[in-house]
Amino acid sequence: VSLARCPTIADVRRQALRRIPRFARAFLESGTGDDLCAARNEIRFAAERLVPVHLVSRGPPDTSTTLFGRRQPVPFGVAPIGLAGLIWPGAERRMANAAAKIGAPFCLSTFATWTIEEAAALLGRQCWFQLYPTHDRAVQADLLERCRAACIDTLVVTVDVPVHNRREGLRRASLGMPLRLGPRLAFDAMRAPRWTFETLSAGFPRPANLIRYVGDGAVSETALFSFLYQQFGRPTDEDDLRAIRAAWPGTLVVKGILGPDDARRAAAAGADALVVSNHGGRQLDAAPHPLDVLPAVREAVGQELPLLLDSGLRSGSDIAVALAHGADFTFHGRSFLYGAAAHQCGAEHVADILAAGFANVMAQLGCERVADLRQRTGASG
């Protein structure tokens, strides 16, 4: 199917899901528990209305915003995705190329299958790094040092994984940890020949930035799993954030905030921005949607602290809704992953859908500047 026949993210998603094995679909789509939060995320935006203004003169829409003193051509970026290479080999590079093409930020995950150094070389200052705080502080310090050396200046600390995920969706698809290619997975892979061919050429995906801390030479899946199990899935408290703040001279963003008290704690620890996020529904099935907690979070931290938002956005209209409700910027996880899996240029296509769709909605609403969106919220439907 040609991308021209995939004008919405839903079309790109359908195409992507056809091309990847069942276990990769499970990894991409699943939330946690009964997947209720992930399902609610997507329908949450459908309940919102934006009211147009027609009879005033205005220029064409300017979709740019300013974030951390820097001009951003569009109010969205690529969210951090761990093990993106499992969804499509080289997915991170595809998503990064898409971000680079429109000048948007790309956030590299701690669990990325692509290195800090390569990502930063491609994206320059628009490469952000997402950190899961580690049990062994020397590992964390070394990761931050590598970011500094690569001239990355925006660090995103994710705080909403205090415990290992139970991964029900992955168990259902027989994708156990440590990863083992048993007969069930081999059967699924055979039914996705293109994915399998490219995975065999690229090598099985691994967290490229962490392998060196596990051991020298060939690192077994078992050794890797026990390292990941020991280092991650732990609470991050305000003191941990203060320690990171003291060690990190650049911009510090805290991701995974869903309430005013945590927002205040993150701000007090020195955060320069927050990502109001329920992690795409992957951590807590009963979690609220970021849109519903945004007013309380805003009230807690005042007007100045940028509030970035993700979870369930699938169109330019969803971006407009988020900004109309007071978010300053948005991030997108699955939308870009669908693109990366659907086609070689699919992630770029997704960036175009979001950028052109957002500009169209601004024009339709009669908004010349992004800030004008704030006056366009209507009654919920």
Ligand X SMILES: Cc1cc2nc3c(=O)[nH]c(=O)nc-3n(C[C@H](O)[C@H](O)[C@H](O)COP(=O)(O)O)c2cc1C
Q: Please choose, from the candidates 306, 311, 366, the residue with its C-alpha nearest in 3D space to the C-alpha of residue 40.
A: 311
Q: Name the helix (H) or strand (E) containing 135.
A: none
User: Given the rule CB under 6 A, which of 4-12, 62-70, 332-340, 358-366 is the region that contacts ligand X?
Assistant: 332-340
* Rounded (10°) CA dihedral 314, 318, 319, 325: -150
Q: Which amino acid is at 146?
A: R
Nearer to ligand X, 214 or 319 (CB): 319
User: What are the residues facing 72 on neighbouring strands?
Assistant: 65
**Is 130 a residue that touches ligand X (CB under 6 A)?**
yes
Considering only 20, 81, 175, 367, the residue that binds ligand X (CB under 6 A) is 81
Considering only 79, 147, 324, 373, the residue that binds ligand X (CB under 6 A) is 79
How far, in Å, CA of 74 to CA of 353, rounded? 12
Long-range contact set of residues 220-223: C-beta below 8 Å, sequence gap at least 24: 221/178, 221/179, 221/180, 222/178
Sign of torsion, CA 282 286 287 292? Answer: positive
Q: Please choose, from the candidates 27, 30, 48, 47, the residue with its C-alpha nearest in 3D space to the C-alpha of residue 39.
A: 30
C-beta separation of 238 from 141 below 8 A: no
Q: How many residues belong to the site for ligand X (CB under 6 A)? A: 24
**Is 334 a residue that touches ligand X (CB under 6 A)?**
yes
Q: What is the DSSP letter of 50?
A: B
Catalytic annotation present for 279: yes
User: Given the rule CB under 6 A, which of 144-152, 223-231, 276-284, 346-354 is the region that contacts ligand X?
Assistant: 276-284
DSSP conformation letters of 13-33: HHHHHHHS-HHHHHHHH--ST
Nearer to ligand X, 144 or 367 (CB): 144
Side-chain-facing half-sphere of 342: CA atoms under 13 Å: 29
**Is 283 a residue that touches ligand X (CB under 6 A)?**
no
> Whole-number minimum distance, CB 345 to ligand X, in Å?
20
> Whole-number minimum distance, CB 264 to ligand X, in Å?
21
- CA–centroid distance for 184 within its chain: 29
Q: Name the helix (H) or strand (E) containing 321.
A: helix 316-324
Nearer to ligand X, 271 or 367 (CB): 271
Site for ligand X in 28-67 (CB under 6 A): 28, 41
Nearer to ligand X, 192 or 367 (CB): 192
- What the block records as the tokens of 339 is 């693109």
Residue number closest to ligand X, CB atom: 333
3-state secondary structure 52-96: CCCCCCCCCCECCEEECCEEECCCEEECCCCCHHHCCCCHHHHHH
User: Given the rule CB under 6 A, which of 64-72, 114-122, 295-303, 329-337 is the region that contacts ligand X?
Assistant: 329-337
User: Given the rule CB under 6 A, which of 145-153, 230-238, 279-287, 340-348 is the region that contacts ligand X?
Assistant: 279-287
Nearer to ligand X, 41 or 126 (CB): 41
How far, in Å, CA of 308 to CA of 330, rounded? 5
**Is 206 a residue that touches ligand X (CB under 6 A)?**
no
Q: Which of 54, 135, 164, 279 is catalytic?
A: 279
> Whole-number minimum distance, CB 219 to ligand X, in Å?
19
Considering only 280, 290, 346, 357, the residue that binds ligand X (CB under 6 A) is 280
> Whole-number minimum distance, CB 254 to ligand X, in Å?
11
**Is 312 a residue that touches ligand X (CB under 6 A)?**
yes
Question: What mask, x for binding ligand X by CB under 6 A, covers residues 97 to 116?
Answer: ------------x-x-----
User: Given the rule CB under 6 A, which of 12-20, 58-66, 307-315, 349-357 is the region that contacts ligand X?
Assistant: 307-315
Residues that bind ligand X (CB under 6 A): 27-28, 41, 79-82, 109, 111, 130, 158, 255, 277, 279-280, 282, 310-313, 332-335
- Residues catalogued as catalytic: 279
